[in-house]
A and B are shown apart, each in its own frame.
Chain A
Amino acid sequence: MNANVPEIRISQAQLQPEAGPPDGQRPVEAVQVSPIRAFLLSRGNSAIADRGFHWLMVLCALSIFGIVVLIAIELVLRSKLAWSQFGFDFFIKAYVDPYTKLPMYWDPVNGHFSALPFVYGTLVSSFLALLLAVPLAIGVAVFLTEMCPQALRGPLAFMTELLAAIPSVIYGLWAVFVLVPLLREHVNPLLIRLLGWTGLFNDDNPTGLGFLSAGVILAIMILPIISSLTREVMTAVPHSQREAVLALGATRWEMIRMGVLRNARIGIVGAIMLGLGRALGETMAVTMVIGNNPQIVRSLLANGSSMAAVIANEFAEASGDLHLSALMEIGLALFVVTIIVNALARVLVWAVTRGAPAQVH
């Protein structure tokens, strides 16, 4: 700061007419003060700049609310057409193909739109991803927090962070060329042979794309989020809990189970929900491996589609206003669901870490 510029404050006292010689001898001149000057005099010379800067910062902060409101308004406005046409049936109705007599859900040609297969695909791939990712993520978190030697902790944590930084399109690229052939050649035949009796693994789809591939790549993608948040809530558990359990004669695993995981379980549920939120909205990797078939099939090896995938595939070339509006309505549903899941998750995590500014994930 330039210290040579003096901040001169003219106090009120200096402006008062001095009590000097009696009236009549010298005319007393009152200084005319403009409103701006009066304001600056009462608050200090930098009051306008301070106020202006303050409100500028408030405006920047309110822009975050503005973004949410803007997105909501745009989505609601554009999906009005589809909502007025289909109502709530948009999410549950099934049409019938007049030629094959099979259920058909997404028919831009005839103007029949039902989001049921996409909701099914999103839910199946997300829950499959959770099933695969949660045990692994909690295992990694437990290892890194409680069991890992100090020297390994930094590099391993960095590697988990790197997994989170990889863009989703690169995950999709790797999945299409490495993961899908791997599943197709080696894993799927095994699953069909061993678990085919459940009806969840059928032989119909030899491409390797489908719900299972999408679930696996989603699991790899949400692992770092669940793991780092679980680590955060585990370190937030006070040491006294661990010491108390150890003092009662517990083994290390019993200490982790009773002293740490039990106390942090609310936060772990929150971490899992955040992973679910990410899995629900994941677009590129899922689009590339899920097969893009808007049908509901019981087999996990079958092609399907998801809400984000259908938007990514069809939005740029949507035929007609109703098609676009239907896609917008799917986007609105995705928006609402992820906001609810994320808000709930953040509340749960905050409840355990008690309001400290959370790490940005």
Chain B
Amino acid sequence: MPTEHKLRARIRTGIDGAATGLAVLSTLLVVAPLVAIFAYLLYKGASSLSWAFFTDIPKPVGEAGGGMANAIAGSGILLAIGSLIGVPVGIGGGIFLAEYGRGTKLANAVRFTADVLNGVPSIVMGIAVYSLIVVPQRHFSAFSGGVALGIMMIPTVCRTTEEMLLMVPHAVREAALALGVPNWRSVLAITVKTASPGIITGCMLAFARVAGETAPLIFTAFGNMGWSSNLNEPIAALPLQIYVYAISPYDEWHRLAWAGALVLIVLIVAAVSLVRYVTSRGVLKGAS
């Protein structure tokens, strides 16, 4: 019946409009917390940022001022140790997946395990490293914190390196081999070098992810209210300090927590934006 057909068509169009509206609504609901978080961070954190924040160590409770200089430096040290462990092993794993093991069952198993390892909670990594390093050494240390961060970087770096290496065209590899370059040298100096912008951005992605991790550091690096340069002593870290300050009852510390959070988020957003910019520009400018 024509009327029934028209009514049904109208209902279907109405459902289509409603679905579109719901989709737009959900997008707005997703963007809203993001904007809210950034706006609040800027509002609360910017007022507490000062030169003192970047150069002072925490002051005793009740005294105004103080900063997070030791936490920023500590984070730097922990990330340096973590990168020393995570980046070479991760790149090596990626080279294996892309060059030597492409298509083999072992490579598939490694890739799957790397993805699964990415999903393991960071606190489980933390207690494993605690049990592995802190208990035998009988003290918390920056070294154990660095190891915890490092083994968290390995799966991420491995997967992104593999992705980047797979993009290098076969012609480049074949040309190198045809000229008599040994296989190992061709992989390192030709293939990896061609994909190096992408590999570096992959490392930066893992870096940014691990920079914000708190849970594995709670019982490995443990935190420190002063300067520390000895790798065998507990060390402060920016996210850890933010956590300690946030759950404390002191307003002054809350202020510092917001400032620290602003610093942390600026660093991470800068890293993520840089990654996006480099990968959108094209990885293989060197090969063309």
Contact = CB atoms under 8 A, between A and B. Distances in A.
A310 to B, nearest CB: 10
B121 A338 contact: yes
A173 B261 contact: yes
Contact of A61 (B88, B92, B160, B180): B92
A50 B92 contact: no
B151 interface: yes
B97 A61 contact: yes
B215 A283 contact: yes
Interface residues of B, number: 106
A79 B159 CA distance: 32
B124 A331 contact: yes
B114 A173 contact: no
Interface string A140-161: 1011100100000000101111
Given A140-B27, A140-B30, A251-B13, A64 B113 contact: yes
B78 interface: no
B117 interface: yes
Interface in A44-62: 44-46, 49-50, 52-54, 56-62
Contact of B114 (A64, A283, A288): A64
Given A57-B92, A339-B116, A227 B37 contact: no
Nearest to B247: A288
B132 interface: yes
A274 B222 CA distance: 30
A66 to B, nearest CB: 9
Contacts of A15: none
Nearest to A250: B12
Contact of B272 (A143, A165, A171, A311): A165
A216 B181 CA distance: 57
B7 interface: no
B24 to A, nearest CB: 6
A335 interface: yes
Interface string A206-239: 0000000000000010010001000000000000
Interface residues of A, number: 96
A170 interface: yes
A146 to B, nearest CB: 8
A265 interface: no
A57 B26 contact: no
A162 interface: yes
Interface stretch (B47-55, B56-64, B224-232, B263-271): B263-271
A253 B14 CA distance: 10
B180 A7 contact: yes
A59 B124 contact: no
Contacts of B187: 53
A56 B94 CA distance: 12
Contacts of B113: 64-65, 68
Contacts of B176: 1
A309 to B, nearest CB: 9
B242 A169 contact: yes
Given A53-B184, A339-B116, A252 B16 contact: yes
B137 interface: no
Given A162-B34, A335-B120, 12 more contacts: A44-B182, A46-B184, A74-B132, A147-B24, A170-B41, A253-B15, A281-B121, A284-B215, A334-B121, A335-B121, A338-B121, A360-B156
Interface of A: 1, 7, 44-46, 49-50, 52-54, 56-65, 67-68, 70-71, 74-75, 77-78, 135-140, 142-144, 147, 156, 158-163, 165-174, 176-178, 220, 223, 227, 251-254, 256, 274, 277-278, 280-284, 288, 308, 311-312, 315-316, 327-328, 331, 334-335, 338-339, 341-343, 345-346, 357-358, 360-361
